[in-house]
Amino acid sequence: MKMKIFALFALLFVTLNAQNIKLPIAFKANFLQQVTNTKGKVIKYKGKIFYNAPSRTKWIYKSPTKKEVCTQGHQLIVIDHDLEQVSYYNINKGFNLSKVLKKAKLHKDNIYVTTYQGKYYTIVLNNKGQVQQIAYKDNLDNTVNIIFTKIKYRNSLLPNSIFTCARPKNYDTIY
């Protein structure tokens, strides 16, 4: 009998740990983004992130610069409040958090790994199964590490108004 109970618990443990990452419908969180260049210099950014599946994201950077970055997957809008400038970019390979998380496979404990659009990602979950950290190398060989705190997953989408990146009238525009 003890052996059957042990086998049942072992099977349950393996099944739970083999699952993919729980995909959020929406979430909001604070973030710390550390970018380390190839010479070891580190820049730290702080702010808030808002996300609706599958790819609607708004990053609000509060320090060391003030800017907003909005995307729906194929267009990126950057409002740099320090430079009083708005830049619009069409992106062929937009970052899709849902796709990255869906592809991720358990490496060990609460650490998942995947490759997406030629980049290797490491994803760490907190004890609630929420994305706590994402690390990768960007196109300039910088190591990017994003740590999320005060994470709030939602079962419904955030309001569309949150994702607006409105161009202030007096800012320069770059297309």
Token output for 102: 């869906």
Q: Strands across the sheet with 42-52, in order?
A: 105-108, 111-116, 119-125, 131-137, 143-154, 26-36, 42-52, 56-63, 67-71, 75-80, 85-90, 172-174
Token output for 115: 């490759």
Using one digit for the tens of pLDDT, what is the confidence trace for 17-71?
Answer: 445 787 789 999 999 999 999 999 999 999 999 999 988 999 999 999 999 999 9
The residue extents of the domains of the chain are 20-174
Q: What is the mean pLDDT of the chain?
A: 86
Token output for 166: 């409105």
Q: How confident is the model at residue 152 (pLDDT cuts 50, 70, 90)?
A: very high
pLDDT (average), residues 89-118: 87
**CATH topology assigned to domain 20-174:** outer membrane lipoprotein receptor (LolB), chain A (2.50.20)
Which carries the bigger pLDDT value, residue 16 or residue 145? 145
pLDDT exceeding 70 applies to what percent of the chain? 87
pLDDT (average), residues 10-20: 40
Q: Write out the H or E segment, with its range, that includes residue 86.
A: strand 85-90
- Cα-based angle 90, 94, 97 (whole degrees, multiple of 5): 150
Enter the pTM of the model: 0.83
